[in-house]
Amino acid sequence: SQQGEEDPQALSIQEGENATMNCSYKTSINNLQWYRQNSGRGLVHLILIRSNEREKHSGRLRVTLDTSKKSSSLLITASRAADTASYFCATDGWAGSYQLTFGKGTKLSVIP
């Protein structure tokens, strides 16, 4: 079964706007990761946040984690057309496990 579920399923914004995607999961995690997938390509790792962290930044990306609500959000600021892609959250089940479980993803379209 899917551990992470992204919301919304699809998001369309204008270039320059911010994009926020959410992820909810069901069981305790060691860490949560976000990946990006361009159409027809492999996934690329964006950022990892550990269960004892609440917020993390990487360039235009900001990730938050609320373990009490079992949810995470990915914020992309000042979006660009090149940010158009699907974004997936992935969770692991226990410390030392690298069996990541992926959600169905959010498809982001950034309109120039």
Partner 1 sequence: SQTIHQWPATLVQPVGSPLSLECTVEGTSNPNLYWYRQAAGRGLQLLFYSVGIGQISSEVPQNLSASRPQDRQFILSSKKLLLSDSGFYLCAWSVLGGSTGELFFGEGSRLTVL
Which residues form the interface with partner 1 (CB under 8 A)?
Answer: 2, 4, 30-31, 33, 35, 40-45, 48, 88, 90, 92, 97-105
Nearer to partner 1, 15 or 47 (CB): 47
Q: Closest by alpha carbon to 23, among 55, 61, 66?
A: 66
Shortest gap between Cβ of 16 and partner 1 (angstroms)? Answer: 28
User: What 3-state DSSP class applies to 109?
Assistant: strand
Nearer to partner 1, 67 or 102 (CB): 102
Shortest gap between Cβ of 103 and partner 1 (angstroms)? Answer: 5
Beta bridge partners of 76: 19, 61
Nearer to partner 1, 75 or 102 (CB): 102
The enclosing H or E element of 86 equals strand 85-91
